């Protein structure tokens, strides 16, 4: 027969289970003092396996000091915190970061709460990587600038020709830093405002045409040409999207500029406009003929600072941020960017945008 305090304890436990069972993301386990798992909410079963109940907690988590900490939670009756990953070889779990808390409940039970911190952990890592990348990208032109300044300071009788060459390099490095800062500011702005869908009605063809005109001289200097073709079935009405003119100009400027940079000399860059009546979207394909992009790089191209060939991108004045900016602007416009490439043949960047009603 249970006495009153035991009955009271059972009711409290059952209420606790009901309450904590409703936790959707966090795992709640009831553990015997010999570390056997006695009860789990649904989140625990889905994270740690169907055969969880009756197993040893130490076999489910990789934390090496778990046993010592568990006994210390019982001895001190204080909350003990730890971080761990789930055991096992599943790829999803291997990179999962859990924050755990152990709490003495009564003479038979310890409560273990596990919170999934993977997202926060990954965001924190992305933030650290980003700062490291920005510092690196700014440091290399700065180091070069300082080097030239010191060389020039140390030589009173430098030939005019050498001096002009050095000043030319210094100007290029300064411009590179300036471009990088402009791109970083652009990226920060569009990331902050990505959730606000633009409402202005804009004639997208005018934007594309004016970007082409602004790049004409550069294209002609390199012996290339850009051909714009309206391939829509019904061409009587100019297509209108809900958008921001400046942001869309940046998208097409970046994509057509890349098409010029990464295409064979004297090749043709095609800009084609099509509509899909089934889902009321407009597609603008920018096609260039060049070395192309290996399949494995394609999903990563819109990551900040990701370049297939870092040296080549730098040499052509790239910052590695162009496609990241493009992707965020297209997201803001509720559109899609699709990249396809055939090595040594052609690369197509397709911008798909919803048409305004
Ligand atoms: P970058 O400033 O280096 O051009 P982007 O973000 O614009 O940075 O592009 C990232 C990388 O994607 C480039 O470094 C290049 O390797 C690749 N890339 C972009 N556009 C093209 C293209 N049209 N053809 C081939 N490769 C491209």
* pLDDT tens digits along 77-88: 999 999 999 997
pLDDT value for 198: 94
Residue 301 per-residue DSSP state = T
| Count of other CB atoms within 10 angstroms of residue 252 | 24
Q: What is the pTM of this model?
A: 0.77
pLDDT in tens, 30-58: 999 999 999 998 889 988 988 999 999 99
Residue 5 has a pLDDT of 65
Residue 302 Cβ contacting ligand 1 at under 6 Å: no
**Number of residues in the chain:** 357
Is 330's pLDDT higher than 90? Answer: yes
> Residue 295 class from Cβ within 10 Å (0-12 exposed, 13-18 middle, 19+ buried)?
exposed
Measured between alpha carbons, how far is 86 from 95 in angstroms, rounded to an integer?
9
* Any atom of ligand 1 within 6 Å of the Cβ of 285: no
Could you tell me the domains of the chain?
4-116 (3.30.450.20), 122-192 (1.10.287.130), 196-357 (3.30.565.10)
Dmax (CA) of the chain: 104
1 pLDDT above the threshold of 60: no
Pairing state between β 109-116 and 27-32: antiparallel
Q: Which atom of ligand 1 is nearest to the CA of 318?
A: 2
Q: pLDDT at residue 145 above 90?
A: yes
Closest approach atom of ligand 1 to CA 263: 24
Of 304, 353, 300, whose CA–CA distance to 330 is shortest?
A: 353
Ligand 1 contacts CB of residue 243 (under 6 A): no
Once rounded to an integer, what is the mean pLDDT over residues 142-146?
A: 95
Cα distance between residue 346 and residue 350, in whole Å: 13
pLDDT tens track for 165-212: 999 999 999 999 999 999 999 999 999 999 999 999 999 999 999 999
Q: For residue 269, which of 352, 346, 211, 204 has the smallest C-alpha distance?
A: 346
Between strands 281-289 and 240-242, the pairing is unpaired
Sorting pLDDT into bands at 50, 70 and 90, what band is 315? confident
Q: What is the pLDDT of residue 4?
A: 67
Higher pLDDT, 318 or 328: 328
pLDDT at 233: 82
pLDDT score recorded for residue 317? 83
136: tokens are: 């690196």
Does residue 254 register a pLDDT over 60? yes
């Amino acid at each position: 027969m249970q006495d009153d305090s035991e009955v009271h304890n059972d009711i409290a436990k059952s209420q606790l289970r009901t309450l904590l069972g409703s936790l959707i993301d966090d795992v709640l386990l009831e553990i015997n003092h010999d570390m056997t798992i006695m009860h789990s909410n649904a989140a625990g079963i889905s994270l740690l396996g169907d055969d969880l109940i009756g197993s040893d907690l130490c076999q489910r988590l990789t934390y090496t000091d778990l046993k010592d900490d568990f006994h210390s939670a019982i001895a001190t009756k204080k909350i003990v915190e730890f971080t761990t990953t789930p055991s096992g070889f599943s790829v999803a779990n291997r990179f999962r970061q859990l924050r755990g808390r152990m709490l003495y409940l009564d003479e038979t039970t310890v409560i273990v709460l596990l919170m999934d911190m993977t997202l926060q952990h990954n965001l924190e890592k992305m933030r650290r990587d980003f700062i490291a990348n920005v510092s690196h990208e700014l440091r290399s032109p700065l180091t070069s600038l300082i080097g030239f300044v010191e060389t020039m300071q140390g030589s009173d009788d430098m030939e005019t020709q050498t001096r002009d060459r050095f000043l030319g390099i210094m100007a290029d490095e300064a411009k590179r830093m300036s471009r990088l800062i402009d791109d970083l500011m652009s990226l920060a702005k569009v990331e902050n405002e990505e959730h606000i869908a633009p409402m202005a009605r804009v004639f997208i063809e005018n934007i594309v045409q004016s970007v082409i005109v602004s790049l004409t001289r550069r294209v002609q200097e390199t012996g290339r040409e850009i051909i714009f073709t309206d391939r829509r079935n019904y061409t009587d009405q100019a297509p209108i999207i809900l958008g921001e003119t400046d942001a869309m100009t940046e998208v097409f400027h970046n994509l057509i500029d890349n098409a010029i940079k990464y295409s064979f000399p004297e090749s043709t860059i095609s800009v084609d406009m099509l509509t899909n009546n089934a889902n009321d979207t407009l597609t603008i394909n920018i096609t260039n003929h060049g070395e192309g992009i290996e399949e494995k790089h394609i999903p990563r191209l819109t990551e900040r600072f990701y370049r297939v060939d870092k040296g080549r991108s730098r040499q052509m004045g790239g910052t590695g941020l162009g496609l990241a900016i493009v992707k965020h602007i297209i997201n803001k416009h509720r559109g899609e960017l699709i990249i396809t490439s055939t090595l040594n043949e052609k690369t197509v960047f397709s911008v798909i945008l919803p048409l305004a009603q």
